[in-house]
Structure 1
Amino acid sequence: MELRTVQVKRAIVATAGTNLGGASAHNRRVVFDALRLNGALSRAEIARATQLTPQTVSNIIDQFVQDGLVAADEPVRGARGQPATPYRILPGGAWSIGIEIDRHRVLGVGVDLAGATLSQRHCRLPTGGPQRGLAVVLDLIADIRKDLKNVARNQRGRSVPLLGLGVAMPGPFGMSNAAAPHDPLLDPWVMREWHSFPLMAELTKATGLEARLQNDASAAAMAEKMYGVARGLDNFVYLFLGYGLGAGIVIQGEIYAGMAGNAGEIGQLPAMAHGPTEPPRSLEEFVSILSLCRAIGLDPSSGDLFEQMQVQGDLGGPRLQKWAEQAGHHLRQAVQILEALFDPQTVVLGGQVPAPLLVEIARHIEPLLPSVSARRDRDRPRLTLGSADLWAVAQGAAMEPIARTFDPQFRAIFKSIE
């Protein structure tokens, strides 16, 4: 009897290498980011700032001009030498779409490279999860694309590429039903039907756009990083006040999502106890839009919830003041924990609440607790107020395809994103 040896293919663990294409992709991102952060720059200024060779910069700029992403301004004559031509990003050089799918609604925006909103759509989600809601989401995306076509028609019909589709939803992702808390009002797993549905594959197939998912806090952090108060920062944490409470974590310029996309689910942490006999409760039971609705008697499924919160904030009733004080009290410890874990340049506080309410919460977070971030050499405050906007998550979701294409990332050096 003849014996045969069977070759079993084993998994090999290794770090991805690079090639000229990977390095080229990274260099293009570096040049684009320099223009985004600084405005118009000459080729020589870009070369000095990025430490790339003048020839590499010239090749990249020429390609950007050819692709309609960058335009030349009038030459500027210096004290000596030839006039230098500054180059700037063309906001209309490419567009992107972002949508937020939440418990009761879907919000969507179409934006240009500068983050300016070109289309803004919203509608209520029907009950029944993605089996009924997917058609609503696809209709909303189709409406945004029609709006963008109308914009292009007004710009003499120039074809503008769509970079992709960013999608944001509240987490945590991949949790079992048995792990869900009993309180339906504060149930963070209420989106589990959407989480278990192959949504990205369905959206990509139906729209022809590459769709990528992130949690809502990470999306909002992306918006702040690219065009908000965290612009130019490489290390910060974004505390996001939505239906729940989450944190978008940016480390070395990139969103840190964790193994399953659940990094930053700070709302699941135990809240500061008020007494030794009090049972443990999660942080978002005290700091979230759902907890605010419970405190002041609003319906969290209301279609005009943001407007109702605005009215309540203007009235400034005692129940609202008590809630804001309590929220600030609990967030004070959360900020200290985040500073100890990540040593950020700043912690940004933002969310889908009216600006006066966000200011009131921040007032009660102060004074901040001692932490590793309490240094004398700081160049910015430990706590920074970010956007207070219903559309912050959709805007951040729309930033994802732009960041995916143009933001400097260590992974861009690898062959996987050439």
Structure 2
Amino acid sequence: MKSKRTIVATAGTNLGGASAHNRRVVFDALRLNGALSRADIARATQLTPQTVSNIIDQFAQDGLVAADEPLRGARGQPATPYRILPGGAWSIGVEIDRHRVLGVGVDLAGTTLSRRHCRLLSGGPQMGLPVVLDLIADIERDLKDVAKNRKSRAVPLLGLGIAMPGPFGTGNDTVPADPLLDPWVMREWHSFPLMEKLSDATGLEARLQNDASAAAIAEKMYGVARGLDNFVYLFLGYGLGAGIVIQGEIYAGMAGNAGEIGQLPASALGASSPPRSLEEYVSILSLCRATGLDAASGDLFEEMQRLCGEGDRKLQKWAQQAGQHLRQAVQIVEALFDPQTVVLGGQVPGPLLAEIARHIDPLLPSVSARHDRSRARLTLGSADMWAVAQGAAMEPIARTFDPQFRAIFKSIE
């Protein structure tokens, strides 16, 4: 019997795919601009007034938008502005990292309604999965309490976003599993059917992304990159990663590993031989080695804040070295992607992030050094231990409402 032939083709669309895209376009216009009339939306999106009216009516019926007081103009009928109802839907995001689990529940405006964290038990997913499920259950209870206190109807949960450090699917079992130094320490979680287990247990669609991409989504939807379609987010966590946004969408690569910039050889960025990876100089783990902080401490963020406040010389020296290494990393990113800006953020205190950025200046010449620029080449993003969990919570919202080329295809109608 002949095996079925594999045919290579690009997915087509139908009316359902086009409708899904149009709904996302209208919602995005309201998210970026605030209250808009139907006529405003039609002009901005180039959709027909009838299409916009149908979409707005459906959003209103679903409790996603509400009408404000009509605005009376110089002539004609008053225009009624519509705005997104933040409480129209909620979502949950969870960051699973080497030593901890952080989770948040948010509304459509990105406002945090619940925030939970706990220590991740050793022993891989067999020991850690119950911890994650308990945390999600706690957040769901918090959200129900919010709805009860507001005396509002049951609010639908859009889904569950999960973020973990990559790289995924590398299968490097020869590397020793040092929980402080080993970049592959999450490999047991990567090979575990985590999304299936979480979806089965919670009834929510769960999707995985790396931590840098999650934080980049948060910046794109409600942070310093709001309204930008092309930027690269350098994320300083336990390691160093990059969230890449191209034409308004996260570029994940074939296996979700695009942006593992921390694995670049630091020798190419001014380090002496033998070559070491960039994240051995620019990461929270490298910071801990330089300052003597415990990378597994549950109070690590507070300890970093304390050292910042004390003007610790070891921390300052580390920040100087980190900035110098990142200087050429920014140049490489600009040469590869020609972004509107490079955003620097991470799970470190704000003053420390600013100190690192100070040592990145002056930026090296690149294709981004144009005279007609209206935006700085380097932009400081969020400096918050909750940035990844917040971004993970944004993923179900983006999945449902953000304009994406894939939304035109039948696969995600």
**TM-score by shorter chain over 0.5:** yes
* Residue 297 in structure 1 maps to residue 292 in structure 2: yes
2:396 to 379, 390, 401: 401
Q: Which residue of 2 aligns with 1:248?
A: 243
Describe how 1:72-151 pairs up with structure 2 within 5 A: 72-151=67-146
2:43 to 28, 41, 48: 48
Describe how 1:301-380 pairs up with structure 2 within 5 A: 301-380=296-375
Please, which runs of 5 or more residues in structure 2 have no aligned partner?
Answer: none
* Residue 388 in structure 1 maps to residue 383 in structure 2: yes
Q: Which residue of 2 aligns with 1:70?
A: 65
Distance in 2 separating the partners of 1:356 and 1:184: 27
Q: Secondary structure at the match of 1:177?
A: coil
Q: 1:300-359 CA deviation, whole Å, 9 max, x = no partner?
A: 000100000000011112111110000000000000000000000000000000000000
TM-score, length of structure 1 as denominator length: 0.97
Distance in 2 separating the partners of 1:259 and 1:345: 24
Give, in angstroms, the shift of residue 272 of structure 1.
3.9
Contact 2:166 2:260 in 1 (8 A): yes
Paired letter, 1:13 = V
Q: Which residue of 2 aligns with 1:38?
A: 33
Distance in 1 separating the partners of 2:190 and 2:221: 27
2:222 to 208, 227, 243: 227
Distance in 2 separating the partners of 1:179 and 1:252: 38
% identity of equivalent residues: 85
Distance in 2 separating the partners of 1:65 and 1:396: 26
Distance in 1 separating the partners of 2:104 and 2:73: 42
Contact 1:272 1:330 in 2 (8 A): no
1:267 to 262, 271, 280: 262
Give, in angstroms, the shift of residue 176 of structure 1.
2.2
Q: Secondary structure at the match of 2:298?
A: coil
Distance in 2 separating the partners of 1:34 and 1:275: 44
Q: 1:270-323 CA deviation, whole Å, 9 max, x = no partner?
A: 114688962000000000000000101100000100000000011112111110
Distance in 2 separating the partners of 1:178 and 1:106: 24
Paired letter, 1:400 = E
Give, in angstroms, the shift of residue 156 of structure 1.
1.4
Paired letter, 1:257 = A
The alpha-carbon distance between structure 1 residues 132 and 287, as it changes in their structure 2 partners (threshold 3 A), is same
TM-score, length of structure 2 as denominator length: 0.98
Contact 1:244 1:289 in 2 (8 A): yes
Give, in angstroms, the shift of residue 157 of structure 1.
4.1
Q: Secondary structure at the match of 1:298?
A: coil
The alpha-carbon distance between structure 1 residues 274 and 44, as it changes in their structure 2 partners (threshold 3 A), is closer
Q: Which residue of 2 aligns with 1:14?
A: 9
Describe how 1:209-224 pairs up with structure 2 within 5 A: 209-224=204-219
Contact 1:236 1:347 in 2 (8 A): yes
**Larger deviation, residues 44-53 vs 153-162:** 153-162
Distance in 2 separating the partners of 1:129 and 1:287: 26
Paired letter, 1:80 = R
Q: Secondary structure at the match of 2:333?
A: helix
2:149 to 151, 154, 163: 154
Contact 2:103 2:389 in 1 (8 A): yes
The alpha-carbon distance between structure 1 residues 274 and 82, as it changes in their structure 2 partners (threshold 3 A), is closer
Distance in 2 separating the partners of 1:150 and 1:30: 32
Distance in 2 separating the partners of 1:271 and 1:373: 22
Distance in 1 separating the partners of 2:332 and 2:33: 33
Q: What root-mean-square deviation, in Å, do the aligned CA atoms of Structure 1 and Structure 2 show? A: 1.3
Paired letter, 1:357 = L
Q: Which residue of 2 aligns with 1:3?
A: none
Please, which runs of 5 or more residues in structure 1 have no aligned partner?
Answer: 1-5
Q: Which residue of 2 aligns with 1:410?
A: 405
**Larger deviation, residues 315-324 vs 179-188:** 179-188
Q: Secondary structure at the match of 2:316?
A: helix
Give, in angstroms, the shift of residue 8 of structure 1.
3.2
Give, in angstroms, the shift of residue 179 of structure 1.
5.7
Q: Which residue of 2 aligns with 1:238?
A: 233
**Larger deviation, residues 331-340 vs 179-188:** 179-188
